[in-house]
Chains A and B, each alone.
Chain A
């Protein structure tokens, strides 16, 4: 199984866990499993069926967007990081 690290503000929606073991052969399946285990978490990662625009996923140190996106294969022991894109401005 792969592991998904849960960012601190999302842990209340993931049973308080800092990481969750997930089943699935690729990133998409792993996220679906995460959403099934913790349905309240899903809304913070997805807008409908699409990943929220500010959500990035890293397989260890690599952005999956530069691999095969949500179809990136996962193997036992892999760790996925959920990393937000942050921007803003004074006015």
Chain B
């Protein structure tokens, strides 16, 4: 389960709008306890997908940006507990591309649809233990 506040969800939606029509991305910071990922902050990161024309349907996070976010989280007593990204004009469903480049079970993959430049619903996914696919998790926006 993923929990976050309305304010944080609004920030994630706003980032998706700001980066539209490209995919926007970043990391979810917070605490992971007993299967519950609780977001307390986010850090938007650049989409460094190498082909500009493909950014409306692809994203990549530079490992060095992730490293910097990791150090910042550590300084605040937080962890990176997931990734957020937008799907411009596409449903917030984990795609075969998301699966192909997934990392570890346990991270929340929060996806926000942005349609015609306006933010829509978000859904969250976690990689199955056997890496065979993504399993949807409950999102609680408090």
- The interface of chain A, by Cβ under 8 A from chain B, is 5, 7-12, 18, 44, 54, 56, 58, 61, 63, 81, 83-91
Interface centre among B56, B59, B71, B104 (most CB of A within 10 A): B104
| Majority DSSP secondary structure for residues of A touching B | mixed
> Within the complex, what minimum Cβ distance (angstroms) separates B58 from chain A?
4
Please list the residues of chain B having a beta carbon within 8 angstroms of any beta carbon in chain A.
23, 25, 32, 49, 54, 56-61, 63-64, 66-67, 70-71, 74, 79-81, 83, 85, 87-90, 94-95, 97-98, 101-107, 109
A-side contacts of B64, CB under 8 Å: 63
Tell me if A87 and B104 are in contact (CB < 8 A): no
Grouping DSSP codes into helix (H, G, I), strand (E, B) and loop, the B interface class, with mixed when no group exceeds half, is: mixed
Report the bound CA distance from A64 to B137 in whole Å: 35
Task: Give complex CA distance A60, B95 in Å.
Answer: 33
Looking across the interface, which residue of chain A has its beta carbon closest to that of B92? A90
Question: 29 A-B Cβ contacts within 8 A?
Answer: A5-B74, A8-B32, A8-B79, A8-B80, A8-B81, A8-B106, A8-B107, A9-B32, A9-B81, A9-B105, A10-B104, A10-B106, A83-B67, A83-B70, A84-B103, A85-B60, A86-B25, A87-B58, A87-B97, A88-B94, A88-B101, A89-B23, A89-B54, A90-B57, A90-B87, A90-B88, A90-B89, A91-B95, A91-B97
Q: How far is the CA of A88 from the CA of B47 in the complex (A)?
A: 10
Given A9-B32, A9-B106, A56-B63, check contact A87 B101 (CB 8 Å).
yes
Which 9 pairs across A and B sit closest by C-beta, in order of nearness?
A: A9-B106, A88-B98, A90-B87, A90-B90, A89-B97, A84-B103, A89-B58, A8-B79, A87-B60
Q: Which residues of B contact A56 (CB under 8 A)?
A: 63
Given contacts A54-B101, A54-B103, A91-B90, contact A86 B66 (CB under 8 A): yes
